[in-house]
Amino acid sequence: TKTAFYYALLLALCQASVSSAWVTVANNNVNLSYNKQAQSSETKLYAQDRRHFVTSSLSIIGSCALTGTTLLTPLPSHAATSPQQQKDEDNIVKGYNRLQYLLDNWVDKTTVCKIGQETTFGDKCERTPVVVMEYLGFKSTSDPLFKADTAMLRLKDLVPSDREVDFYDAVDAFAQNAEEASSMAFVSSWGEANPGGGKDRVALFIERAKNNVIASRDALKTIIDILDLKA
């Protein structure tokens, strides 16, 4: 690993530093042997060199040990979570759970019954996909999935390097399918009023919107898995 490589490099540099100190002392010792007349005064200097070597060596060894320990100490998996990051993560999970709830109750949530008032075709209940836009964050700025793709991209630094392609593909898939689902919902809301329209046309657009909602939910699940969030 990179940590082991850097630790080995540090150890080699430490050994080189200690060896350099030995060479300095050795050279002083050689010079001392060639200068007998100054032996008395040089002996003190040599002793000082030896004390300096021991002190320096201990300092070098201590620094190397401290640095090596720091290198080998595992870093925390994530830095401190900022309020914005926490909000983005929570909204992604909430949005996913809301889409799952919408799909689990699809017919009920896409059906509106009017009490005391008949619909265009004389029924009290009719299918409407308007709720789809609400669940996908197109109706309110307070919805968890409002500008969800922007929130996802703010979390890109948390993505493991080997999942970056999957992450960006999932973000694109969510944005595309959410937009298409919203468009299908809007078009189907006018299905009965358009020439040649009717309940069958409304139902057709609602089912198309459902397929897009399913794809949006699956994309969110991929993002949640990549970011290791708890859904």
For the ranges 41-55, 112-126, 180-194, 214-228, the maximum mean pLDDT occurs at 214-228
**pLDDT digits 0-9 by tens, 169-217:** 999 999 999 999 998 887 776 655 555 556 777 888 888 999 999 999 9
Least confident of 95-99, 112-116, 157-161, 174-178: 112-116
Give the CA distances from residue 135 to residues 59, 162, 219, in Å, rounded to whole numbers and listed in that order: 64, 31, 15
Could you report the per-residue pLDDT of 85-107, keeping only the tens digit for each?
999 999 999 999 999 999 999 99
The Cα–Cα gap between 222 and 210 comes to 19
Contacts 24+ apart (CB under 8 A), 187-196: 188/128, 188/129, 189/128, 189/129, 189/130, 192/120, 192/121, 193/120
Q: pLDDT value at position 34?
A: 43
| DSSP line for 166-210 | HHHHHHHHHHHHHHHHHHHHHHHTTTTTSTT--HHHHHHHHHHHH
The pair of three-digit structure tokens given for residue 199, joined into one six-digit string? 């309940």
What is the C-alpha separation between 229 and 80, in angstroms, rounded? Answer: 15
pLDDT tens figures, 198-211: 677 788 888 899 99
Q: For the CA atoms of the chain, what is the radius of gyration? A: 36
Does the pLDDT of residue 41 top 90, yes or no?
A: no
**Could you report how far apart the first and last alpha carbons of the chain are, in Å?**
33
Give me the count of residues in the chain. Answer: 231
Q: What is the SS3 assignment for 113?
A: strand
pLDDT the model gives residue 200: 79
Task: Report yes or no: 171 and 153 within 8 Å, Cβ to Cβ.
Answer: yes
77, amino acid identity: S
d(CA 50, CA 64): 21
Tell me the whole-structure pTM to 2 decimals: 0.62
| pLDDT score, position 114 | 75
- Within 8 A by CB and 6+ apart from 178, the residues are 136, 137, 138, 145, 148, 212, 216
